[in-house]
Chain A
Amino acid sequence: MAIEVIKPGLATSVQDAGRPGYYHLGIPLSGALDQYALHAANLLVGNEEGAAVLEATLLGPELLFRAPAIVAVTGAEATPKVNGETRPRNESFAVRAGDRLTFDYMKAGARSYVAVAGGIDVPPILGSRSTYALGALGGFVGRKLAAGDVLPVGSAAASARPGRAFAADLVPTYPKSLELRVLPGLYFHRLTEESAKTFFEDTWTVAPEADRIGYRYRKGRTLKFRERKQPFGAGSDPSNIVDAGYPYGSIQVPGGLEPIILHRDAVSGGGYAMIGTVVSADMDRIAQMQPNNLARFVAVDMDGALKARADYRSRFARMVASLR
């Protein structure tokens, strides 16, 4: 069984739950930016939790199935079509040999996930099939997909069948304006008193450069850092620190101009002050933000962050329980 890529879309890559455990060596998590949509897609086609899917960003691909398959599309509001006929999102459907899967405009959300029963069967690298394109590692020969690529598919589980779906009210929607919860720190204290306020007051716009490495925001007021004599090893700009490890989800503001939230393909360390970290529960929502969408940052404490994580897990569990 194989799938041929007729048109790759803008940036379509093989992704799974990710490659944790190597960030200290400079190899990032990678994996589907929207993990909720990834796991949902795999459940719909009867795949194991770690199976690899396709992540399509902003513009869907055109795929040709060389054999019959059970498919599910989750994530962004981009209607899948088989040979031009509409298929539901968030519900498994069957394709025949020779069928073509295409996508309508991405009306909301930024990433569609295409799971195929059996999973995309590229070789695992360091325990994951995820693509880390910056490092030319994993996925389909270490890069995003190109026209003419032929993707191997594994063996479908016996439980794979069309028509599986979740309760509709448990499927996420993707507003064009949202709030992102932030735990301030490690270097939040380095902002001036005024900037520590304006960061949370302003509405920020997703920049067109936002990608799997980092989500860049602009159009808020410039952030100023407190004056100090820069320590040895730190760059001269007050937004610089002595090099340190960057957590996943951390927010850096080079030159105080544009906050960048590090996502799953981020570099693991560097010399920008991290003013806070987006809570893990909101990283999937960032993944679904299109350029020009709007965000406000809301401060939470550790209890608030853990509560958000617990709520996320409980919502996911309810969705899994509603699978029919």
Chain B
Amino acid sequence: MAQHRVLSPLPGIFYRRSAPEKPPYKEDGDRVAQGDVIGLIEVMKQFTEVHADASGRIVHFLVDNEGAVEPEQPLAIIETD
């Protein structure tokens, strides 16, 4: 099966949950559909949602919660259907 990498659209801090007390949007191994939110990028006091751009199963996240990211940096690997 093909693997697809979800890339960060912009630099900032990557969050895997919508709020500190909330569960992560997705865990390693979870199924995702194209368009699902898998995380947030915080930059310039704005939060931008990161959407899965392929459907399948998340093999694993490549960046931890609150990790610093660059534009085009891979955030997660999806095994596509």
Contacts and interface: CB of A to CB of B under 8 A. Distances in A.
A256 interface: no
B44 A290 contact: no
Nearest to B45: A209
B43 A291 contact: yes
Q: Classify the secondary structure of A's interface with B.
A: loop
Nearest to B71: A105
B12 A291 contact: yes
A290 B70 contact: yes
Interface string B61-79: 0000000111110000000
Contacts of B48: 10, 59
A11 B45 CA distance: 11
B10 interface: yes
Contacts of B69: 292
Interface in A256-311: 290-292
Q: Give chain B's interface residue range (CB within 8 Å of chain A).
A: 10 to 19
Contact of A58 (B13, B71, B72): B71
A287 to B, nearest CB: 13
B11 interface: yes
Contact count band on A: 10 to 19
A263 to B, nearest CB: 12
B44 A208 contact: yes
Given A10-B44, A11-B44, A208 B12 contact: yes
B68 A291 contact: yes
Contacts of A16: none
B34 interface: no
A24 interface: no
B44 A105 contact: no
Given A59-B9, A105-B7, A105-B9, A10 B72 contact: no
A208 B71 contact: no
Nearest to B8: A105
Nearest to B68: A292
Contact of A208 (B9, B13, B70, B72): B13
B10 to A, nearest CB: 5
Contacts of B46: 10-11
A209 B44 contact: yes
A291 B13 CA distance: 9
Interface string A96-130: 00000000011100000000000000000000000
A211 B68 CA distance: 17
Given A105-B7, A105-B9, A290-B11, A10 B43 contact: yes
B44 A211 contact: yes
A57 interface: yes
Nearest to A57: B44
Contacts of A105: 7, 9, 71-72
A44 interface: no
29 contacts: A10-B10, A10-B46, A11-B46, A58-B10, A58-B12, A58-B43, A58-B44, A58-B71, A59-B9, A59-B71, A105-B7, A105-B71, A105-B72, A106-B11, A106-B71, A107-B71, A208-B12, A208-B13, A208-B42, A208-B43, A209-B44, A209-B45, A211-B44, A211-B45, A291-B12, A291-B13, A292-B11, A292-B68, A292-B69
Given A208-B12, A208-B42, 6 more contacts: A10-B48, A58-B11, A58-B44, A59-B48, A105-B72, A292-B12
